[in-house]
């Protein structure tokens, strides 16, 4: 074998199509629920790994990721959701409406980037976290590699939200997405994925959950002798 | 408590207690152990404990510092500290308490066991003594033992080193006869008096009737003598195990790097975990005080998110904090305290249930907290309030108690909220609204806002509001 190629392979910088057969059996991919996106992602999100999302703050990036994670079939109820250094205060009401129990929620406010990355790595490695969300400005190649290995070890997902203008390539990520919103549609561009080619934008519809939707269902409170009368709509 | 003269006692005399403590807790290198080492009492200027290597070089107990250093200039010296021995005796008593019920502490170097009431449990003195021996050899301190029907007699024989462990009166008496009185508790001036009338050993003392001694000896010495002869009962109070744990370890030499303290801390943690294990207890918090040579002691508290007892678990938490620790001056001793522990609850969970995730999650949290500090790990709490700022409370994660019924009221709320609403400075298109929130007139934080959902040109969906004064503010992002 070409020594250069050999070296690249030993560093695990090369993905070979032969591996795809073993690793990306359809069932291990995490379906996103959007057909077009699933197709582009060859079945869905990887079952573990570091996922980079490049977007402006507030185009529905977190909602999309939470939605996908909630679809996991083998989900255990008491895994933790870790948010490390969110840019603003997290809204508890939003998380509740996304079906995240606040008992399982941990928010970490580190002082330095090193602390943030250390805690992200610890969480990823522990195998008790459903998702780890970080908002770092810039990560180095080695830092990403470390996190990626930790997530694979702990079978968890680490989402790195980043709103820088220039997309960087060649990072050892499992998946890198760019999100742009155009009115109702969310344009998802796949910059990099481990089991396939980069793909042009796919549009998906990510609407607001509105107050009259299924999420809003006030519980009737039965009180002893009071009989609830449900008026028909 | 007073006892008759028929119960059997065992006296354990620890000959080189402080020396053993130092050797066990800190030295792992066999070469260092084999160096001559002695414990020195400043008050009387004499060596009180020496190891075998020192003995081989001609150094003897009772020697002054000058003659000892003439014999071997590199002799390793430690100051005699009775409190170290007292602490160790308590540890020993704690360990023995599981095997035998009545223990008396006889500081600084003795432990007394009341064997009589254990004989029927163990089926004789032999099996009983075997169990005790096993426990003692695990601790690893050198001792001399003796059994007798009075405490004074057992003590004398143990100190003399001629003790036998048996329940036959005649054998015990034979062994007692040859003991010199100088090691007994008889007062020094009375010993002199006895010597003058030719009484040196127990055999000689037994020939004289007690009434003859009565006008020669003091009251205290007389009690000792009558007890030695088995004519008077012993009066003691028994050891009661403490529920708190304190362990003071003095270092062999000053240590300024926290890393170097690791073996000592492991040793201390092992002792703690033994203590907790036998009580079926675990603890949430331990304290370690680092005594610094030239500064005040540095107290450090280590917390765990869930009660644990294993030394390895504690070590993983302590190591993280140890990395950040720096001492102002070298550390000469440390003290491990655990003042509150709880009995481990028996849980009847399904073996395959998700319990292991919970344990792992808790240990993850402890690790994060010990490295970053408790205040940086937070949980959120939802308060049912219409004011968006009041809806989310940040609290320390450990103390958060969640109500099961927490439920969101509105579905269309943004994921991220600005702590302080900012004046809106972007061009936005209104998608939805208004939603009027007028609230809080009762507690001085009243708000009156019309909320809209808007979208900026970059596709950011934001939550904004208009005040009655027609001013627009940005309040959140729909991430």
Q: B433: nearest CA in chain A?
A: A210
- Chain B residues close to A57, C-beta within 8 Å: 416, 460, 477, 479
Tens digit of pLDDT for each residue in A30-66?
888 888 888 888 888 888 899 999 888 888 888 888 8
Task: Give dist(CA A128, CA A109) in Å, integer.
Answer: 19
Residues 6+ apart with CB under 8 A from A15: A194, A195
pLDDT above 80 for B348: no
Of B333, B335, B332, nearest in space to B254 by CA: B332
Confidence category of residue A71, pLDDT binned at 50, 70, 90: confident
Look at B461 and A59 and tell me if their CB atoms are within 8 Å: yes
Tens digit of pLDDT for each residue in B381-413?
888 888 888 888 887 765 555 665 667 677 778
pLDDT above 60 for B443: yes
What's phi and psi for B303, nearest 5 deg? -115, 150
Cα distances from B175 to residues B144, B172, B478, in angstroms, run 14, 5, 90
pLDDT above 90 for A5: no
On the 0-12 / 13-18 / 19+ scale of CB atoms within 10 A, B442 is exposed
Confidence category of residue B144, pLDDT binned at 50, 70, 90: very high
How many other C-beta atoms can be found within 10 angstroms of the C-beta atom of residue A49? 22
* Token representation of residue A73: 């079939």
pLDDT above 70 for B12: yes
- What DSSP character marks residue B180? B
| Cβ density class B234-249: b for 16+ within 10 Å, e for less | bebeebeeeeebebbb
Determine the residue among A93, A100, A160, A204 to mutate to test chain B binding: the one whose Cβ has the most chain B Cβ atoms within 10 Å.
Answer: A93
The confidence score (pLDDT) of residue B13 equals 94
Task: Give dist(CA A20, CA A22) in Å, integer.
Answer: 5
Look at B381 and A92 and tell me if their CB atoms are within 8 Å: yes
Cα pseudo-dihedral B56, B58, B64, B68, rounded to 10 = -80
Q: How many residues does chain A have?
A: 233
Look at B416 and A77 and tell me if their CB atoms are within 8 Å: no
Lowest-confidence range among A188-202, A214-228, B144-158, B440-454?
A214-228
- Chain B residues close to A93, C-beta within 8 Å: 382, 388, 391-392, 408-410, 413
On the 0-12 / 13-18 / 19+ scale of CB atoms within 10 A, B10 is buried
H or E stretch at A197: none
**A118 Cβ under 8 Å from any chain B Cβ:** yes
Tens digit of pLDDT for each residue in A118-138?
999 989 988 888 899 999 888
Cα distances from B298 to residues A109, B64, B293, B295, B330, in angstroms, run 27, 36, 11, 8, 11
Q: A221: nearest CA in chain B?
A: B405
Task: Give dist(CA B431, CA A87) in Å, integer.
Answer: 24
Cα distances from B390 to residues A96, B368, B420, B443, in angstroms, run 15, 28, 12, 12
Which residues 209-268 of chain B have a CB within 8 Å of chain A? none
What's phi and psi for B447, nearest 5 deg? -130, 150
Cα pseudo-dihedral B460, B462, B466, B467, rounded to 10 = -130
Mean pLDDT value across chain B: 85
Counting one residue from A and one from B, how many pairs have CB atoms under 8 Å apart? Answer: 183
Residue A186 · residue A205 · CB < 8 Å: yes
Task: Give dist(CA B208, CA B290) in Å, integer.
Answer: 57
Residues 6+ apart with CB under 8 A from A37: A44, A188, A202, A204
Of B157, B221, B227, nearest in space to B191 by CA: B221
Task: Give dist(CA B374, CA B392) in Å, integer.
Answer: 19
pLDDT above 70 for A233: no
DSSP secondary structure of B222-239: HHHHHHHTT-S--B----
Confidence category of residue A212, pLDDT binned at 50, 70, 90: very low
Region B233-238: mean pLDDT is 82
Tell me how many degrees the CA angle B339-B344-B345 measures, rounded to the nearest 5. 135
**A210 Cβ under 8 Å from any chain B Cβ:** yes
Confidence category of residue A27, pLDDT binned at 50, 70, 90: low
Q: What is the pTM of this model?
A: 0.60
- Chain B residues close to A201, C-beta within 8 Å: none
Which residues 411-450 of chain B have a CB within 8 Å of chain A? 411-419, 431-432
The confidence score (pLDDT) of residue A217 equals 46
What's phi and psi for A178, nearest 5 deg? -120, 130
What's phi and psi for B432, nearest 5 deg? -155, 145
Q: The complex's ipTM? A: 0.79
Nearest to B416 among A90, A96, A122 (CB): A90
Residues 6+ apart with CB under 8 A from B114: B3, B7, B8, B9, B100, B101, B102, B103, B104, B238
Region A141-150: mean pLDDT is 89
Work out the angle between the directed axes of helices B82-96 and B17-26 (0-180°, nearest 10).
80
HSE-CB of B327 using CA atoms within 13 angstroms: 27
Confidence category of residue B126, pLDDT binned at 50, 70, 90: very high
A128: distance to nearest CA of chain B, Å? 6
On the 0-12 / 13-18 / 19+ scale of CB atoms within 10 A, B391 is buried
Task: Give dist(CA A150, CA A50) in Å, integer.
Answer: 9
Task: Give dist(CA A217, CA B57) in Å, integer.
Answer: 89
> A132 forms bridges with which residues in the sheet?
A82, A158
Give the position of tokens 């066990």. Answer: B24
* Token representation of residue A113: 């980037």
Give the position of tokens 């009338």. Answer: B197
What's phi and psi for B299, nearest 5 deg? -85, 135
Task: Give dist(CA B332, CA B294) in Å, integer.
Answer: 10
Tens digit of pLDDT for each residue in B303-324?
887 788 888 889 988 888 888 8
Nearest to A78 among B357, B417, B460 (CB): B357
Region B78-89: mean pLDDT is 88
């Amino acid at each position: 074998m070409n020594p250069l190629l050999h070296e690249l392979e030993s560093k695990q910088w090369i993905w070979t199509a032969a591996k795809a057969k073993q690793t990306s059996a359809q069932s291990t991919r995490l379906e996103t629920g959007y057909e077009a996106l699933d197709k582009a992602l060859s079945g869905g999100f990887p079952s573990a790994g570091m996922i980079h999302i490049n977007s402006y703050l507030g185009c529905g990036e977190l909602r999309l990721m939470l939605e996908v994670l909630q679809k996991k079939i083998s989900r255990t109820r008491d895994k933790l959701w870790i948010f490390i250094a969110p840019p603003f205060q997290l809204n508890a009401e939003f998380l509740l409406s996304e079906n995240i129990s606040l008992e399982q929620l941990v928010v970490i406010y580190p002082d330095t980037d090193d602390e943030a990355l250390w805690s992200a790595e610890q969480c990823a490695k522990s195998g008790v976290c459903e998702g780890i969300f970080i908002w770092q400005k810039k990560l180095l190649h080695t830092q990403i590699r470390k996190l990626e290995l930790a997530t694979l070890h702990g079978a968890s997902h680490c989402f790195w939200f980043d709103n820088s203008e220039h997309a960087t390539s060649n990072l050892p990520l499992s998946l890198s997405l760019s999100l742009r919103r155009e009115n109702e549609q969310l344009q998802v561009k796949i910059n990099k994925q481990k089991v396939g080619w980069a793909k042009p934008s796919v549009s998906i519809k990510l609407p607001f959950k509105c107050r009259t939707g299924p999420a809003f269902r006030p519980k009737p409170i039965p009180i002893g002798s009071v009989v609830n009368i449900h008026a028909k709509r | 408590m007073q006892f008759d003269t028929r119960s059997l006692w065992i006296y354990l005399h620890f000959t080189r207690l402080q020396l053993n403590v130092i050797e066990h807790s800190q030295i792992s290198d066999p070469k260092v152990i084999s160096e001559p080492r002695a414990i020195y009492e400043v008050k009387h200027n004499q060596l009180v404990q020496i190891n075998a290597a020192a003995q081989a070089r001609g150094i003897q107990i009772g020697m002054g510092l000058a003659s000892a250093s003439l014999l071997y200039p590199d002799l390793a010296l430690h100051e005699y500290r009775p409190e170290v021995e007292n602490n160790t005796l308590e540890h020993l008593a704690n360990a023995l308490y599981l095997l035998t019920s009545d223990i008396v502490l006889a500081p600084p170097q003795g432990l007394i066991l009341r064997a009589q009431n254990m004989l029927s449990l163990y089926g004789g003195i032999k099996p009983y003594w075997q169990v005790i021996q096993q426990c003692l050899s695990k601790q690893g301190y050198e001792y001399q033992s003796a059994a007798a029907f009075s405490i004074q007699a057992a003590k004398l024989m143990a100190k003399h080193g001629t003790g036998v462990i048996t329940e036959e009166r005649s054998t015990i008496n034979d062994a007692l006869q040859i003991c010199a009185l100088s090691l007994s508790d008889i007062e020094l001036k009375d010993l002199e008096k006895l010597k003058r009338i030719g009484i040196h050993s127990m055999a000689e003392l037994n020939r004289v009737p007690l009434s003859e001694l009565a006008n020669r000896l003091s009251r205290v010495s007389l009690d000792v003598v009558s007890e030695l002869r088995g004519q008077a009962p012993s009066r003691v109070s028994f050891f009661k195990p403490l529920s708190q744990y304190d362990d003071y370890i003095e270092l062999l030499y000053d240590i300024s790097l926290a890393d170097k303290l690791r073996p000592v801390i492991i040793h201390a943690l092992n002792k703690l975990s033994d203590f907790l294990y036998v009580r079926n207890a675990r603890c949430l918090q331990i304290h370690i005080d680092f005594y610094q040579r030239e500064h005040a002691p540095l107290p450090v508290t280590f917390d765990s998110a869930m009660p644990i007892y294993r030394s390895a678990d504690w070590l993983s938490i302590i190591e993280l904090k140890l990395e950040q620790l720096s001492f102002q001056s070298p550390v000469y001793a440390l003290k491990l305290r655990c003042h509150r522990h709880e009995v481990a609850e028996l849980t009847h969970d399904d073996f395959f249930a998700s319990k292991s995730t919970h344990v792992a999650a808790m240990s993850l949290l402890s690790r994060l907290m010990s490295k970053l500090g408790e205040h940086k790990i937070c949980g959120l709490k939802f308060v049912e309030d219409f004011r968006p700022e009041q809806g989310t409370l940040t609290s320390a994660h450990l103390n958060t108690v969640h109500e099961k019924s927490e439920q969101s009221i509105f579905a269309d709320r943004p994921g991220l909220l600005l702590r302080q609403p900012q004046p809106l400075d972007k061009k936005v298109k209104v998608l939805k609204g208004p939603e009027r929130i007028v609230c809080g007139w009762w507690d001085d934080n009243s708000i009156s806002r019309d909320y809209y959902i808007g979208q900026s040109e970059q596709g950011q969906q934001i939550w904004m509001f208009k005040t009655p004064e027609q001013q627009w503010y940005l309040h959140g992002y729909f991430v």
